[in-house]
Amino acid sequence: MQWIIRFFVSHRNISSLALTVIASLWMLSGNPDQQQRIARILTFSVFYPFQFYFNQTTRIKNVVAENRTLKESFANLSVQVAQLSEAGRENERLTEMLGIARQFPYQLVPARVVVRDPSFISRSAIINVGKEQGLLPFMPVMTTHGAAGKIIQVMQHMSMVQLILDPSNRTSVMVQRSREIGILETENGSDFFIMFRAHADVNVGDTIITSGLGGIYPKGLLAGRVAKLTENRDPIFKKAIITPEVDFDRLEEVFVLKLTPQWASFKQELDSMVTSQSKQAGQ
Amino acid sequence: MISDAVKWVLVFMVSLILQTSFVPVITIAGIKPDLLIVALFFFSIKYGVIPGIFVGFALGLGQDLYSPSMLGQNALTKTVAGAFIGLFNERMMRSDPLIKTVLLLVVFIIHDALFFIVQIARLGDPVSTLFLGLLTKCLPRALYSIAVAVLFYIWDLIPKPGIRK
């Protein structure tokens, strides 16, 4: 055995050549089936690590590409879900509005709030209906939850609504249960109150509706609920803190009630009287 | 030493990739250069007989596995080619580009002659195939490969940083 090793070492060039040539000839001498088998074994043992590495690399590349595609799909689907969800909510609101419109005895003009006044001074909103739809100043505006304000300026296709949040806006209201009348007002646009006479029949939780006496809102529109009663410094009055029914932060769709102010005819008559008096004085 | 091994593995891999992908594009009248033999030539002439034999065997076997119609044919021819080139190892004798070119031509002839002999023996082709093949295929292929090998010469002539000739 030792002499074989010694021979190989001393004649390593020839031995190496012989070894590889014999291996080559052995492979060549096999029939096609044997050659294929040897090729398969060699391919598997020699190329498998590389193949595995390339497969893994390709797989990682595929995963990265798939991840990118999934992210895009996810973003698209999120947008679609948001749109569908929004459409669903809008559908609910419009269905509710439709129900209100059907049961309400006045002619209602549905409108969408397109601009909200960001300032805390006027507290107004602009809606997408105007003269074109037959709107006039002082027409009341409401939501499905109750009174929201009145129109103060009418343009061709838009109108400005003064919300009841506006401190300059005062609304004549009454307690639905006891018919006690008061004026719904606010000083800061967020805290609403009504000053009642000290002995007025008002309880916490009472529903407040419009009285119809102001000449603008029809009688019976929901305005709010009594949240708290406070004793005033003046013993003649007591103050009822009111929570409005309308969520003014989420004002999206409204109705305009096509009602001319009840005092309009009086005003007309008064104006004509004043004009005739001045004419007589001039003569 | 290790960096040399890595470098040569890369050279052979690139040669193999180019041989299967790029070389078919630059085929002229069915004649294409053999980059593997060119790479084997430069390797064996630098490192000698034994590395030439084993690398030639491995390269040939790789080529056979790529198209296993005649497993062992390329292994045998490249082993012999590697051994032959190794005899003219640069450590033993200095050779200028002209001698290298002639050597490369001889290597091609030996390689292809052996290739055709194996083919004749295995498939029973007529002996005229050998001469016809050497004349019509081997020589043009060898000349084309030598033309490509000039690029290797040029690369070899470019001074490398840190190497003093």
Q: Which residue has the tokens 């005649």?
A: B70
Contact B53 A17 (CB under 8 A): yes
**Cross-strand pairs, A181:** A174
Give the residues across from A126 on adjacent strands. A115, A160
Q: Nearest residue on chain B to A46, judged by CA atoms?
A: B62
Supply the DSSP symbol for A84.
H
CA of A66 to nearest chain B CA: how many angstroms apart? 29
Q: So what's the pLDDT on residue B118?
A: 86
- Longest Cα separation, chain B: 55
Is residue B75 within 8 angstroms of chain A, CB to CB? yes
> How much is the average pLDDT of A125-130?
91
Helix (H, G, I), strand (E, B) or coil at B143: helix
Which range (A222-231, A273-282, B61-70, B92-101) has the least confidence? A273-282
Which residue among B71, B86, B122 sits closest to A39, beta carbon to beta carbon? B71
Residues, chain A, total?
A: 283
Q: Can you give the pTM of this predicted structure?
A: 0.47
Residue of A nearest to B86 (CA): A13
What is the average pLDDT across A249-262?
83
The total number of residues shown for chain B amounts to 165
Average pLDDT score over residue span B50-65: 88
Q: Is B2-157 in CATH node 1.10.1760?
A: yes
Report d(CA B120, CA B127) in Å as an integer: 7
- Among A71, A101, A61, residue whose Cα is nearest residue A254: A101
Out of B56, B68, B72, closest to residue A25 by CB:
B72
Higher pLDDT, A209 or A189: A209
CA-wise closest residue to A217 among A269, A160, A151: A151
Q: Which structure tokens are listed for B93? A: 């004798």
Residue B54 CA to residue A271 CA, distance in Å, equals: 119
Residue with tokens 């002639």: B102
Question: Which one has a higher pLDDT value, A91 or B156?
Answer: A91
Where exactly are the structural domains of chain A?
A: 109-261
A57-108 pLDDT tens trace = 778 888 888 888 898 888 888 888 888 887 888 888 777 777 766 677 778 8
pLDDT(B125) > 80: no
A138-197 pLDDT, tens digit per residue, is 899 998 888 999 998 899 999 999 998 888 888 999 998 888 999 998 888 888 999 988
Please give the CATH number for the structural domain made up of A109-261.
2.40.10.340
Interface test with A, best of B40, B66, B71 (most A CBs within 10 A): B71
User: Is A207's pLDDT higher than 60?
Assistant: yes
